[in-house]
Amino acid sequence: MENTKPWYKSKTMWGGIVAVLAGIAGVFGYNLGAEEQQVVVNSLVGIGGSVGGLLALYGRIKADGKVTK
């Protein structure tokens, strides 16, 4: 694999996290079906990307050095 991306933009990572949390929730009587899990994963990927973008902007604003090639 040569293409990389941050972990928070990976549907596989979020899918794994949601699957684990859904399993834990099932122990406590909550049931998340496959469709609900997919909605949660898609939402988390969008939120993760947005948060990552905001952190990048914040870091650039607070940085002391110039951006060069």
Average pLDDT over every residue of 51-67: 83
2: DSSP letter: -
Average pLDDT over every residue of 17-42: 86
Mean pLDDT, the chain, rounded, equals 83
Distance between CA atoms of 23 and 19, rounded to whole angstroms?
A: 6
Given this model, what pLDDT does residue 14 score?
82
pLDDT digits (tens, 9 = 90+) for 34-54: 888 888 888 888 887 788 888
Question: Whose CA is closest to 52, among 8, 10, 18?
Answer: 8
Tell me the residue type at 30. Y
Every domain of the chain and the residues it spans: 33-61
